[in-house]
């Protein structure tokens, strides 16, 4: 086992991840995996945090803060208090436990219920010491409950991104001006991050490719976590590579970074909402981001993975019955044709 994709096996039957579930190949069933060949010993440590992040450490931490309260009681009172809510995606809701710095609770809405939570044990996951922090889980109960490594920073898009996308798909509602402006501001801030921040992310993706079989979920820009203060850029939300869609490696590369940072699915809608001056700015700062990505990718040997991205967006369209994601991506590639063609 390696870095844990947080959704494997417990995906929402009704979301786009489901269509890819069949093709997940558990690492231990793959005789030729790099990991198995390397015979990497699994140990409890974490490179990004330069400290040990694992279930044992989590329990110690929990005990020191919450004394003799049981873990299940702490979890239930945490998720029942809206103040602890951090964010949600298509599948899961995520919460911070009061007083706990480095871990989060992740609840998959379709699969979690209080009864199974109380009845089933929480099982620790051994950690792949060569994998950086991609928000992977350190324990789960196999029924939609996970404890994950926290990544410091803020998500890179609107908190209600899944809802916005559904509205855009069904054309029930466009984007509000304020929302477009917020996205412009986030992209602008990111463009101002030093080259080193982009380099660090590229280095982590290089490690992900080298030491794990996990693929970044490029769909939702909220899977990019940006830390303004420390100028770090991280990614959360992984799944296993899939072979069924006919894609060939590389899965994680230049376009994973571009797509999470600029969100092709909302890009043109955001652009259309802005003033002419803001539109020019959006293009300028986006180009700066793309340039920094290319420099970083070059340093760490990342390749273009646009074809894989197209397959993912195509899968989304097939599943949702709206011809939305792939055309939006094609349009995005046209806008940046001189850089991304
Ligand atoms: N490890 C993490 N560190 C920081 N924020 C996180 C982490 N995991 C999740 N979040 C926040 O919670 C949101 C939903 O979590 P995610 O695991 O991406 O759910 P989904 O699989 O439904 O997309 C994220 O977009 C992010 O805002
Ligand atoms: Mg997500």
Using one digit for the tens of pLDDT, what is the confidence trace for 152-183?
Answer: 999 999 999 999 999 998 988 889 999 999 99
Distance 177 CA to ligand 2 centre (A): 24
Tokens of 201: 């992310």
Taking each helix axis as running N to C, give the angle between helix 177-191 and helix 254-262, from 0 to 180 degrees, rounded to the nearest 10. Answer: 140
The span from the CA of 158 to the CA of 21, in Å, is 26
Indicate the pLDDT class of residue 319, thresholds 50, 70 and 90. confident
Q: Of 37-51, 57-71, 167-181, 282-296, where does mean pLDDT reach its minimum?
A: 37-51
The span from the CA of 146 to the CA of 178, in Å, is 34
Tokens of 137: 């889980």
Pocket lined around ligand 1, Cβ cut-off 6 Å: 6-7, 86-92, 94, 104, 106, 135, 148-151, 155, 220, 222-223, 225, 236-237
87 in helix, strand or coil?
strand
Indicate the pLDDT class of residue 213, thresholds 50, 70 and 90. confident
Instruction: Please say whether the dihedral angle defined by the alpha carbons of residues 163, 337, 315 and 7, taken in this order, is positive or negative.
Output: negative
Q: Which ligand is nearest to the CA of 48?
A: 1
Ligand 1 pocket test target in 8, 20, 87 with most atoms within 8 Å of CB: 87
Specify whether the CB–CB gap between 265 and 225 falls below 8 A.
Answer: no
Question: By percentage, how much of the chain surpasses pLDDT 70?
Answer: 82
Specify whether the CB–CB gap between 136 and 104 falls below 8 A.
Answer: no
Alpha carbon 246 to chain centroid distance?
A: 22
Specify whether the CB–CB gap between 97 and 62 falls below 8 A.
Answer: yes
Ligand 1 pocket test target in 18, 88, 93 with most atoms within 8 Å of CB: 88
Indicate the pLDDT class of residue 32, thresholds 50, 70 and 90. very low
Specify whether the CB–CB gap between 218 and 309 falls below 8 A.
Answer: yes
Distance 89 CA to ligand 1 centre (A): 7
Ligand 1 pocket test target in 13, 94, 223 with most atoms within 8 Å of CB: 94
Ligand 1 pocket test target in 8, 46, 92 with most atoms within 8 Å of CB: 92
pLDDT given for residue 336 in this prediction:
98
What are the start-end ranges of the H helices in the chain? 18-21, 34-38, 55-66, 71-79, 114-119, 161-170, 177-191, 195-211, 254-262, 264-273, 276-299, 306-320, 325-335, 337-340
Q: Which of 154, 152, 80 is nearest to 117 (CA)?
A: 80
pLDDT given for residue 57 in this prediction:
93
Scanning the structure block, which residue is given the tokens 């400290």?
A: 51
Using one digit for the tens of pLDDT, what is the confidence trace for 194-212?
Answer: 999 999 999 999 999 998 8
| Helices H / strands E in the chain, number of each | 14, 11
Instruction: Please say whether the dihedral angle defined by the alpha carbons of residues 34, 123, 241 and 201, taken in this order, is positive or negative.
Output: negative
pTM greater than the 0.75 cutoff: yes
pLDDT given for residue 70 in this prediction:
95
Specify whether the CB–CB gap between 245 and 20 falls below 8 A.
Answer: yes
Indicate the pLDDT class of residue 86, thresholds 50, 70 and 90. very high
Q: Which atom of ligand 1 is nearest to the CA of 94?
A: 12
Q: Which of 146, 179, 178 is nearest to 165 (CA)?
A: 179
pLDDT given for residue 243 in this prediction:
55
Judge whether residue 26 has pLDDT over 80. no
Specify whether the CB–CB gap between 262 and 287 falls below 8 A.
Answer: no
Q: Whose CA is nearest to atom 11 of ligand 1?
A: 87
Q: Whose CA is nearest to atom 9 of ligand 1?
A: 94
Q: Of 37-51, 107-121, 234-248, 268-282, where does mean pLDDT reach its minimum?
A: 37-51
Question: By percentage, how much of the chain surpasses pLDDT 90?
Answer: 71
Distance 143 CA to ligand 1 centre (A): 18
Q: Which atom of ligand 1 is nearest to the CA of 161?
A: 25
What average pLDDT does the segment 295-308 reach?
A: 96
Distance 163 CA to ligand 2 centre (A): 13
Q: Which ligand is nearest to the CA of 87?
A: 1
Q: What average pLDDT does the chain have?
A: 85
pLDDT given for residue 11 in this prediction:
30
């Amino acid at each position: 086992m390696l870095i844990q994709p947080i959704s494997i096996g417990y995906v929402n039957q009704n979301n786009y991840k489901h269509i890819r579930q069949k093709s997940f190949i558990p690492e231990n069933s793959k005789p030729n995996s790099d990991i198995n060949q390397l015979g990497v010993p699994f140990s409890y440590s974490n490179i990004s945090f330069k400290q040990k992040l694992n279930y044992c450490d989590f329990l110690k931490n929990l005990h020191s803060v919450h004394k003799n309260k049981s873990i299940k009681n702490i979890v239930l009172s945490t998720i029942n208090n809206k103040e602890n809510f951090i964010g949600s995606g298509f599948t899961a809701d995520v919460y911070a436990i009061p007083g706990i710095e480095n871990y989060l609770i992740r609840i998959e809405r379709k699969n979690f219920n209080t009864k199974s939570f109380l009845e089933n044990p929480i099982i620790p996951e051994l950690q792949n010491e060569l994998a950086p922090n991609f928000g992977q889980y350190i324990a789960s109960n196999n029924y939609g409950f996970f404890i994950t490594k926290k990544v410091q920073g803020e998500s890179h898009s609107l908190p209600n991104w899944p809802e916005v996308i559904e509205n855009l798909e069904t054309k029930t509602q466009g984007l509000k001006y304020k929302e477009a402006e917020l996205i412009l501001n986030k992209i602008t801030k990111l463009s101002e991050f030093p080259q080193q921040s982009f380099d660090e992310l590229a280095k982590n993706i290089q490690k992900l490719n080298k030491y794990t079989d996990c693929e970044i979920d490029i769909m939702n820009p909220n899977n990019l976590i940006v830390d303004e203060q420390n100028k770090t850029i991280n990614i959360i939300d992984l799944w296993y590579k899939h072979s069924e869609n006919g894609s060939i490696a590389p899965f994680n590369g230049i376009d994973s970074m571009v797509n999470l940072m600029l969100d092709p699915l909302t890009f043109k809608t955001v652009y259309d909402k802005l003033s002419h001056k803001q539109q020019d700015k959006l293009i300028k700062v986006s180009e700066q981001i793309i340039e920094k990505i290319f420099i970083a990718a070059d340093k760490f040997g990342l390749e273009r993975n646009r074809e894989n991205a197209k397959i993912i967006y195509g899968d989304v369209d097939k599943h949702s019955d709206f011809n939305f994601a792939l055309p939006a991506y094609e349009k995005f590639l046209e806008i940046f044709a001189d850089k991304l063609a």
